[in-house]
Amino acid sequence: MRTRAAIARIAVAGAATAVMTASAAATAYAAPGVSVQQQIAAQVANYGGEQTGPGEVTYSSGSVKLVIPPAGQAATCPIGWYCFFESAGYGGRMLQFQDCGGYQFLGDYGFRNQASAWQNRTQNTVEVYDEDVQPWELLWTMTPDAESISVGTAADEKADFFNTLCPASAK
Ligand SMILES: [Ca+2]
């Protein structure tokens, strides 16, 4: 518990900084006529990573990717990954992960308080939390090979971090 609390405190401190930079980026996302490439450039400027495709930024040696689809199109969560979507109906930006066995923070990628839908195309189980309330609230659990087209009003745009449990068959 002590370790977990310490991790969250670090995340809160980091997120406070990220929120300030994110507000400028959010304006860019919302502005009409902003190209995918401009959004990708803003993402890299604010949150690092490496552009690895027309609408893709890769982090952590390939274990995390942010995908910004062309206007009017949807990103696709690949087999072997679990994904968070910016909009209900699997629209907007998509943030995808594959690792199990620990905590990860959406704010590291500009995705804090953003997720509205998810797909889990792994055998991992993912517990998603809101850290803006005390005690932290478990918002939803992503069971293996499941998805949610909308997380619902009570959980919408609240997710901050998650704990990924490895499949029982894995070590
Ligand atoms: Ca939150």
- pLDDT tens digit sequence for 32-68: 678 999 999 999 999 999 999 999 999 998 999 999 9
The alpha carbon of 114 and the centre of ligand 1 are apart by a number of angstroms equal to 9
The alpha carbon of 127 and the centre of ligand 1 are apart by a number of angstroms equal to 14
The alpha carbon of 124 and the centre of ligand 1 are apart by a number of angstroms equal to 22
DSSP element (H, E) containing 39:
helix 36-47
The alpha carbon of 128 and the centre of ligand 1 are apart by a number of angstroms equal to 10
* pLDDT number for residue 22: 42
The alpha carbon of 131 and the centre of ligand 1 are apart by a number of angstroms equal to 5
The alpha carbon of 53 and the centre of ligand 1 are apart by a number of angstroms equal to 29
Report yes or no: 106 and 8 within 8 Å, Cβ to Cβ: no
The alpha carbon of 99 and the centre of ligand 1 are apart by a number of angstroms equal to 22
Question: For the whole model, what pTM was predicted?
Answer: 0.81
CA atoms within 13 A on the CB side of 159: 35
Report yes or no: 125 and 142 within 8 Å, Cβ to Cβ: yes
Superfamily classification of domain 2-165? Crystallins (2.60.20.10)
- pLDDT tens digit sequence for 112-150: 999 999 999 999 999 999 999 999 999 999 999 999 999
